[in-house]
């Protein structure tokens, strides 16, 4: 499968306020070149489908959707590469809490990273990140994700380009300090038929497990008495917002 890698990943979430609560789970993700999506044999396609409507596209191709969004922020790739980190659709189901797109200019220099967030209300929102040299970026939160947090504060997001290892970090800061920390770490594996079959056997119905896990932990937090902040359902193509590049002290 040219143009693709698989990452066996560990996801960690740690809520720091108003109650402390954490969990971690294992999953696997695809890193694909949007100009060279995996061409799976027919008998494997139920294990990995990449549909435009599941990701940034609103018509045409996933790449066209990302380019349209970048152009709205004055960025023209002119044929540069876009790599997407995401879950594929598995047996007809997909849910990506966070999809990342590393976007390069035609000369190979980074143009930015698009962070696409999906929530369980059916909404989708994109943030344009312009990482600094570390590489980290800051963006105001303006989209509902968890019903236990209001829509305020800001994210600090670390998005180094994936290589042999994957190491993405997200922290949510509100007035008074850090209230939430998440990390996504993983190790690359070549996307072969054997590797996909092994990962699918180890993590069956992987995207359904993600959706079920979100709801399971939500119920536990609710039973602990955490207050709920009602959110209005968001349209699939929600607001767009560019981040502010910023320098942080270690």
Q: Is residue 220 part of a domain?
A: yes
Q: Does 3 score more than 90 pLDDT?
A: no
The structural domain count of the chain equals 1
C-alpha distances in angstroms, 221 versus 22, 23, 90, 118, 129? Answer: 10, 12, 28, 20, 30
Q: Is residue 135 part of a domain?
A: yes
Q: Is residue 250 part of a domain?
A: no
Q: Is residue 247 part of a domain?
A: no
pLDDT band at 231 (very low <50, low <70, confident <90, very high): low
pLDDT band at 228 (very low <50, low <70, confident <90, very high): confident
Please state the rounded mean pLDDT for residues 218-224. Answer: 84
Tell me what the pLDDT averaged over the chain comes to.
89
Contact indicator for 224, 21 with CB cutoff of 8 Å: yes
Give the model's pLDDT for residue 244. 43
pLDDT band at 243 (very low <50, low <70, confident <90, very high): very low
Q: Does 246 score more than 60 pLDDT?
A: no
Q: Is residue 151 part of a domain?
A: yes
Q: Is residue 154 part of a domain?
A: yes
The residue segments making up the domain with residue 133 are 4-242
Strand order in the sheet with 4-15: 136-140, 154-158, 165-174, 177-190, 4-15, 21-33, 82-86, 98-104, 110-118, 124-129, 240-242
pLDDT in tens, 18-30: 889 999 999 999 9
Distance separating alpha carbons of residues 217 and 74, to the nearest angstrom? 39
Give the model's pLDDT for residue 87. 97
pLDDT in tens, 149-185: 889 999 999 999 999 999 999 999 999 899 999 999 9
3-state secondary structure 106-157: CCCCEEEEEEEEECCCCCEEEEEECCCCCCEEEEECCCCCCCCCCCCCEEEE
pLDDT in tens, 99-145: 999 999 999 999 999 999 998 888 899 999 999 888 999 999 999 98
Q: Is residue 104 part of a domain?
A: yes
- Out of 161-165, 206-210, 227-231, 242-246, pick the least confident: 242-246
Distance separating alpha carbons of residues 75 and 60, to the nearest angstrom? 19
Residues 6+ apart with CB under 8 A from 59: 52, 65
Give the model's pLDDT for residue 238. 42
Q: Is residue 249 part of a domain?
A: no
Give the model's pLDDT for residue 59. 64
Q: Does 46 score more than 70 pLDDT?
A: yes
């Amino acid at each position: 499968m040219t143009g693709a890698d698989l990452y066996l990943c560990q996801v960690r979430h740690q809520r720091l306020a108003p109650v402390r609560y954490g969990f971690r789970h294992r999953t696997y993700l695809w890193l694909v070149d949007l100009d060279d999506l995996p061409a799976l044999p027919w008998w494997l396609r139920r294990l990995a489908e990449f549909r435009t409507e599941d990701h940034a596209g609103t018509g045409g191709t996933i790449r066209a959707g990302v380019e349209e969004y970048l152009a709205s922020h004055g960025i023209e790739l002119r044929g540069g590469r876009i790599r997407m980190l995401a879950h594929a659709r598995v047996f007809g189901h997909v849910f990506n809490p966070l999809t990342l797109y590393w976007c390069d200019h035609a000369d190979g220099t980074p143009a930015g990273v698009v962070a696409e967030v999906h929530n369980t209300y059916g909404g989708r929102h994109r943030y344009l990140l312009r990482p600094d040299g570390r590489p980290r970026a800051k963006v105001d939160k303006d989209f509902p994700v968890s019903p236990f947090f209001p829509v305020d504060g800001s994210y600090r997001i670390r998005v180094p380009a994936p290589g042999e290892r994957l190491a993405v970090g997200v922290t949510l800061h509100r007035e008074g300090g850090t209230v939430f920390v998440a990390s996504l770490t993983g190790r690359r594996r070549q996307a072969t038929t054997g590797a996909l079959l092994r990962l699918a056997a180890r993590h069956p119905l992987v995207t359904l497990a993600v959706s079920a896990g979100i709801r399971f932990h939500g119920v536990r937090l609710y039973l602990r008495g955490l207050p709920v902040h009602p959110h209005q359902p968001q349209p699939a193509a929600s607001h767009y917002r560019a981040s502010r590049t910023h320098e942080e002290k270690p």
